């Protein structure tokens, strides 16, 4: 739901890639994989890798057509200084390249085998929105559920895990820890919005080709890029929903919530089998959450102690253009009830409900949207379907997957962390990595 603003240098030209030998080493194989990615994501990653591994570029670097304007306009942004600092950690060798949807991660090995992770996030036009270089976050090999639990044990952090195989009449739990504990879930709330939208289309109340209109009072904060569009911009419901799920675009979610109505989202929560739908009544928009959590302290206190009626009145009272900025987000606010609360079984139920929605959707739109971003590099030889959603706010990190294999079995994996400080849960690379370890290990099929 939120994104960090990373430093974003650039290079003047795409570097040439040496020919791949018949038996490539790991670094050359990874570099070849990067060079072979002809998408805007691959082009951007290759461009930045050239910046880090090629000859010194000096001060004269052309940024045109590479970064979103909000990045280059950031006060005090000095790409040359950042570039110099990053290059000083080298020289680098490309070790691995992991592209997923509009994101990419490049692992670089430096002196004394010290490894760094280059992370990129692109906007809808293929421009770089977030770019960071940081020491590699190492995730341990996971072969058992006990090893996963051990990896998740962190001082000051609550965690929850659910792994289950869906059955015709329910599910078989493979592993669960604190899975029935309601926890803040940030952008995972968008799964309920997706269900509300699918139901509205199914009932004929709107179509995928209908449009939503960007307005100042519906503009939210990143993640996503729709907040940068001018007022009056009209976009189809289909593309807006795609951004809401695949890019976790907060403004896209709020535009759809405005079109559907708060009650429709609340009905989707109940229809999906949430264990206590009252926890999500009223159903706030992302803009509401930012205003409640990091706006006026008195409003936050009233939200924390208020009943449903009081909370609805508070949301009416902050129905105005957003006053909070990304720089205002600091301490966590979930302790005040500012978030969307659900337990891991609720996540399982809403994911399962989306599969049912997809199977009733003759247009294939629900399936296309839900599988657009699998979150990690998924083995297509094993998995025929991969739904994914992540959620993050200060002190909140969670990832969930629904995966179907070629034998027809479907699994759900939910990983959640909650802490009073954002630094305790980090930027999600560790938790995402643990999810990838579990999925790659075959533990879901045991």
> What is the average pLDDT across 223-248?
97
pTM for this predicted structure: 0.92
> What is the average pLDDT across 63-81?
83
Give yes or no: residues 100 and 170 share one domain: no
> What is the average pLDDT across 80-89?
89
Question: What does the pLDDT read at residue 443?
Answer: 96
Give yes or no: residues 130 and 183 share one domain: no
Give yes or no: residues 249 and 153 share one domain: yes
Burial class (CB within 10 angstroms; exposed 0-12, middle 13-18, buried 19+) of 378: buried
Question: What does the pLDDT read at residue 58?
Answer: 57
Residue 102 to residues 44, 238, 246, 322, Cα–Cα distance (Å): 11, 18, 8, 26
Q: How confident is the model at residue 10 (pLDDT cuts 50, 70, 90)?
A: very low
Average pLDDT, the chain: 92
The answer to whether residue 11 is domain-embedded is: no
**Maximum CA extent, the chain:** 69
Q: Could you tell me the CATH number of the domain that includes residue 394?
A: 3.40.710.10
Above 60 in pLDDT, residue 1?
Answer: yes
Assign residue 375 a region: left if phi > 0, alpha if psi is -120 to 50, beta otherwise? left
Q: How confident is the model at residue 75 (pLDDT cuts 50, 70, 90)?
A: confident
Above 80 in pLDDT, residue 12?
Answer: no
Give yes or no: residues 100 and 195 share one domain: no
The answer to whether residue 238 is domain-embedded is: yes
Give yes or no: residues 129 and 92 share one domain: yes
Question: What does the pLDDT read at residue 74?
Answer: 83
Within 261-334, residue ranges assigned H as helices are 262-271, 286-294, 297-305, 308-317
Please tell me which residue, 164 or 1, carries the higher pLDDT value: 164
Q: How confident is the model at residue 84 (pLDDT cuts 50, 70, 90)?
A: confident
Q: How confident is the model at residue 11 (pLDDT cuts 50, 70, 90)?
A: very low
333 contacts: CB under 8 Å, gap ≥ 6: 292, 293, 294, 300, 339, 393, 394
Give yes or no: residues 124 and 273 share one domain: no
Give yes or no: residues 110 and 151 share one domain: no
Q: How confident is the model at residue 9 (pLDDT cuts 50, 70, 90)?
A: very low
Q: Helices 40-53 and 26-36 meet at what angle, rounded to 10?
A: 130
Domain end point (choices 107, 135, 163): 135
**Domain of residue 369, residue span:** 145-283+339-445
Q: Could you tell me the CATH number of the domain that includes residue 103?
A: 3.10.450.280
Give yes or no: residues 38 and 168 share one domain: no
Question: What does the pLDDT read at residue 70?
Answer: 84
The answer to whether residue 301 is domain-embedded is: no
The answer to whether residue 317 is domain-embedded is: no
Burial class (CB within 10 angstroms; exposed 0-12, middle 13-18, buried 19+) of 126: middle
Determine the Cα–Cα distance for residues 300 and 315; give it in Å rounded to an integer.
Answer: 11
Question: What does the pLDDT read at residue 65?
Answer: 85
Above 80 in pLDDT, residue 64?
Answer: no
Question: What does the pLDDT read at residue 82?
Answer: 87
Q: How confident is the model at residue 57 (pLDDT cuts 50, 70, 90)?
A: low
Question: What does the pLDDT read at residue 76?
Answer: 81
Domain end point (choices 116, 135, 154): 135
Determine the Cα–Cα distance for residues 80 and 9; give it in Å rounded to an integer.
Answer: 7
The answer to whether residue 19 is domain-embedded is: no
Give yes or no: residues 222 and 344 share one domain: yes
Question: What does the pLDDT read at residue 105?
Answer: 97
The answer to whether residue 407 is domain-embedded is: yes
Give yes or no: residues 368 and 427 share one domain: yes
> What is the average pLDDT across 218-238?
97
Is the distance from CB of 224 to CB of 242 less than 8 angstroms? no
The answer to whether residue 357 is domain-embedded is: yes
Domain end point (choices 113, 135, 157): 135
Could you read off the pLDDT of 163-198 as tens digits, one per residue?
999 999 999 999 999 999 999 999 999 999 999 999
Number of structural domains found in the chain: 2
Of 412, 375, 377, residue with least CA distance to 397:
375
23 contacts: CB under 8 Å, gap ≥ 6: none
Could you read off the pLDDT of 391-445 as tens digits, one per residue?
999 999 999 999 999 999 999 999 999 999 888 999 999 999 999 999 999 999 8
Above 90 in pLDDT, residue 83?
Answer: no
Give yes or no: residues 98 and 35 share one domain: yes
DSSP 8-state assignment for residue 229: S
Above 60 in pLDDT, residue 7?
Answer: no
Question: What does the pLDDT read at residue 17?
Answer: 30
The answer to whether residue 305 is domain-embedded is: no
Q: How many Å separate Cα 237 from the centre of its chain?
A: 20
Give yes or no: residues 149 and 112 share one domain: no
């Amino acid at each position: 739901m939120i994104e960090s603003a990373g430093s974003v240098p650039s290079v003047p030209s795409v570097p040439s890639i040496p020919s791949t030998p018949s038996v490539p080493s790991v670094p050359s194989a990874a570099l070849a994989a990067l060079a072979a990615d002809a998408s805007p994501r691959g082009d951007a990653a290759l461009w930045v890798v050239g910046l880090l591994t090629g000859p010194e570029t000096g001060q004269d670097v052309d940024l045109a057509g590479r970064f979103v304007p909000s990045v280059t306009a950031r006060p005090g942004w000095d790409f040359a200084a950042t570039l110099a600092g990053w290059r000083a950690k080298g020289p680098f060798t490309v070790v691995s390249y992991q592209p997923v949807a509009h994101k990419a991660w490049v692992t670089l090995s430096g002196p004394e085998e010290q490894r760094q992770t280059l992370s990129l996030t692109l906007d809808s036009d293929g421009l770089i929105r977030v770019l960071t270089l940081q020491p590699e976050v190492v995730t341990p090999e996971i072969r058992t559920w006990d090893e996963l639990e051990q990896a998740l044990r962190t001082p000051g952090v609550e965690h929850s895990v659910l792994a289950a195989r869906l059955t015709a009449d329910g599910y078989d739990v493979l592993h669960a820890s604190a899975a029935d504990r309601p926890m803040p879930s940030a952008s995972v709330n968008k799964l309920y919005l997706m269900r509300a939208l699918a139901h509205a289309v199914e009932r004929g109340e709107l179509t995928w080709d209908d449009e939503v209109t960007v307005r100042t009072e519906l503009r939210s904060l990143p993640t996503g890029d729709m907040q940068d569009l001018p007022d009056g911009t009209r976009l189809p419901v289909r593309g807006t929903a795609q951004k809401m799920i695949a890019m976790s675009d907060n403004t896209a979610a709020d535009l759809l919530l405005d079109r559907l109505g708060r009650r429709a989202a609340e009905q989707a929560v109940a229809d999906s089998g949430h264990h206590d739908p009252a926890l999500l009544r009223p159903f706030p928009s992302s803009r509401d959450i930012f205003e409640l959590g990091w706006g006026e302290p008195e409003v936050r206190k009233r939200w924390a102690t208020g009943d449903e009626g009081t909370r609805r009145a508070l949301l009416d009272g902050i129905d105005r253009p957003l006053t909070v900025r990304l720089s205002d987000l600091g301490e966590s606010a979930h302790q005040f009830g500012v978030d969307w609360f659900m337990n891991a079984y609720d996540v399982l139920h809403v994911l399962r409900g989306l599969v049912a929605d997809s199977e009733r959707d003759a247009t294939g739109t629900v399936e296309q949207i839900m599988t657009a971003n699998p979150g990690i590099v998924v083995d297509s030889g094993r998995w025929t379907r991969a739904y994914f959603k992540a959620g993050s706010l200060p002190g909140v990190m969670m990832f969930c997957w629904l995966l179907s294999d070629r034998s027809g079995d479907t699994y759900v994996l939910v990983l959640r962390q909650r802490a009073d400080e954002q630094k305790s849960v980090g930027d999600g690379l560790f938790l995402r990595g643990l999810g990838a370890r579990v999925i790659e290990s075959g533990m879901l099929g045991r």
